Amino acid sequence: MGKKHIMVLGAGLVGSLLSTMLAKKGFKVSLYERRPDMRKTQLDGGRSINLALSKRGLKALEQIGIDHKVKKMCIPMHGRMIHDRAGNLQMQPYGMNGEFINSISRAGLNELLMNEAERNGVKIYFDHKCTDVDFDKPEAKFENEQGEVTVGADFIFGADGAFSALRNAYLKTPLFNYSQQYITAGYKELVIPATPDGDFAIASNALHIWPRGSYMLIALPNLDKSFTVTLFFPMKGQTSFETLSHKEAVQEFFEKEFADATELMPTLVDDFFGNPTSGLVTVRCNPWVKGKTALIGDAAHAIVPFYGQGMNAGFEDCFVLGQLLDKHEDLNRDLLKEYEALRIPDAEAIADLALYNFIEMRDKVADPQFILQKKIEKR
Ligand code: FAD
């Protein structure tokens, strides 16, 4: 494969995986990350503490031979556990043949991927914020503690997330299509801790949902037997984050809407006011390749989280790139154009499905007609 020098922007989930894959194929890889090393510094969370890892994502981890390590960090979730207002439970399996998705810690997975990248010779530069990219040279400008540095490479991948600096540079060029759409709901993370005797407070093998029409609560299990709970709720309006503005309002609302969960959340009010409220955005763009640079992961296709497929789709980008590298035996512009042609239609499809699944999760899963229809489809 030669010793081409590849620069990857962003040591998140996708950038770290991509770097490992490229290093395993014989490239010299430099990975630049805006934040300090998360393995040494406690970073303020901000975004989903745990995630659902599916078969699509696992395929890419298998490709680089670390699926067995990752599986040890997973808790299988075999279906949706629906909680109605009265506290009745209904398990809706994900498939007839024991299919499941996996709950995994975002930080744990990211740290493992960074370790793998370094083990395979990737050099990670932390505290380097990319501010601009020249696509043709190609080279990238960074701000770091010393000031500004410019670094060149043979190719540059932008794996720098939903607010990508590489994509921002594309925005200034002609014939670049871009859209960014926030939905009206945002989210806040809360917690159901382990029970005093150290067990899961609710069934661990399910993705729990409290569907309530225009909003919902969900919970995914963690290895320490706690659950990360997420409230997806309107950002503005009569029943919204704006109206849940004081302790009594929050406690009362949760007791009324999610009584069985509230009993298990002793730190609810503190968590509610201590944790950030964040928005949910879909980013679509085209092309993903300019000069000797390409976008990958959320930088190319940020989606809302309701299908649990954002990271999985980014991992699939890496898997497809890996297959193309085996076919072409070198990294060049033709390969990148083929990658783009294969991935953009899939990214468009999952972006639409993810938007639709919010309606299914918050509303339809509790609808008897919908449940009956699903049962008929499975026969
Ligand atoms: P990111 O994870 O955003 O990583 C980008 C990295 O680039 C970061 O480390 C960042 O610091 C760095 N960076 C940014 N700008 C610069 C810069 N200028 N210079 C240098 N570095 C930079 N997906 C799933 O598959 N399953 C789920 O269950 C799931 N649940 C989710 C729940 C929520 C609430 C949210 C918001 C998302 C969820 N997702 C899920 C989506 C998933 O989080 C993303 O798709 C995934 O994190 C994308 O990975 P990435 O590496 O492309 O981007």
**CA-wise closest residue to 167 among 349, 347, 322, 9:** 9
Residue 374: the pLDDT is 65
Cα distances from 180 to residues 283, 297, 346, in angstroms, run 5, 15, 18
**Atom 8 of ligand 1 has which residue's CA nearest to it?**
12
192 pocket-lining for ligand 1 (C-beta < 6 Å): no
Ligand 1 lined by 141 (C-beta under 6 Å): no
Burial class of residue 209 (count of CB atoms within 10 Å of its CB; 0-12, 13-18, 19+): buried
Report which protein residue has its CA nearest ligand 1's atom 37.
Answer: 305
- The SS3 call for residue 216 is strand
Report how far ligand 1's centroid is from the alpha carbon of 47 (Å): 8
Describe the strand order of the beta sheet including 50-53 as a list of residue ranges.
50-53, 101-105, 75-77
Q: Which residue has the tokens 């990508």?
A: 164
> What is the 155 CA–ligand 1 centroid distance (Å)?
22
Residue whose Cα lies nearest atom 31 of ligand 1: it is 305
- Note the pLDDT of residue 362: 74
Name the β-bridge partners of 5: 28
ipTM (interface predicted TM): 0.99
* Closest to 75 (Cα-Cα) out of 116, 110, 108: 108
Q: How far is the CA of 122 from the centre of ligand 1 (A)?
A: 20
Give me the pLDDT at residue 378, please.
Answer: 60
Asked whether the beta carbons of 254 and 190 are under 8 A apart, the reply is no
Backbone angles phi, psi at 231, to 5 degrees: -95, 120
Of all protein residues, the one whose alpha carbon is nearest to atom 1 of ligand 1 is 161
pLDDT at 361: 79
Please state the CATH superfamily assignment of the domain spanning residues 5-56+106-178+284-357 in this structure. FAD/NAD(P)-binding domain (3.50.50.60)
Which residue's alpha carbon is at the smallest distance from atom 14 of ligand 1?
A: 160
Distance CA 114, CA 13 (A): 9
Please tell me if the CB atom of residue 186 comes closer than 6 angstroms to any atom of ligand 1.
no
Distance CA 265, CA 190 (A): 8
Strand partners, 186: 233, 279
Residue 166: CB atoms within 10 Å: 27
User: What is the C-alpha to C-alpha distance for residues 322 and 139, in angstroms, rounded to an integer?
Assistant: 23
- The tens place of each residue's pLDDT in the chain, 379 residues long, gives 558 999 999 999 999 999 999 999 999 999 999 999 999 987 665 566 899 999 999 999 999 999 999 999 999 999 999 999 999 999 999 998 989 999 999 999 999 999 999 999 999 999 999 999 999 999 999 999 999 999 999 999 999 999 999 999 999 999 999 999 999 999 999 999 999 999 999 999 999 999 999 899 999 999 999 999 999 999 999 999 999 999 999 999 999 999 999 999 999 999 999 999 999 999 999 999 999 999 999 999 999 999 999 999 999 999 999 999 999 989 999 999 999 999 999 999 999 999 998 887 776 666 666 666 666 666 5
Tens digits of per-residue pLDDT, 249-272?
Answer: 999 999 999 999 999 999 999 999
H or E stretch covering 140: strand 139-144
Quickly list H helices, the chain.
13-24, 55-63, 67-71, 106-119, 165-171, 247-257, 259-262, 268-274, 298-301, 310-328, 333-362, 368-378
Ligand 1 pocket residue status of 14, Cβ below 6 Å = yes
**How far apart are the CA of 316 and the centre of ligand 1, in A?**
14
pLDDT for the residue numbered 114: 98
Run of H or E residues at 369:
helix 368-378
Q: In what order do the strands lie in the sheet with 129-134?
A: 129-134, 139-144, 147-152
Q: How far is CA 7 from CA 18, 125, 155, in A?
A: 11, 11, 6
3-state SS, residue 49: coil
The verdict on the CB of residue 158 being under 6 Å from ligand 1 is: no
Pocket probe mutation, ligand 1, options 20, 56, 144, 160, max atoms within 8 Å of Cβ: 160
Question: Of the residues 104, 311, 357, 358, which should be mutated to test ligand 1's pocket, given the most ligand atoms within 8 Å of the CB?
Answer: 311
DSSP 364: G
- Prior bond to 138 cis, omega within 30? yes
Is-contact 113 16, C-beta < 8 A?
yes
Q: Ligand 1 centroid to 205 CA: how many Å?
A: 25
Start-to-end Cα distance in the chain: 49
The ranges assigned to domains in the chain are 5-56+106-178+284-357
pLDDT value of position 337: 95
Q: Is 298 in the pocket of ligand 1 (CB under 6 A)?
A: yes
User: Ligand 1 centroid vs 27 CA: distance in angstroms?
Assistant: 24
What's the confidence (pLDDT) of residue 377? 64
> Can the peptide bond before residue 93 be classed as cis, meaning omega within 30 degrees of 0?
no
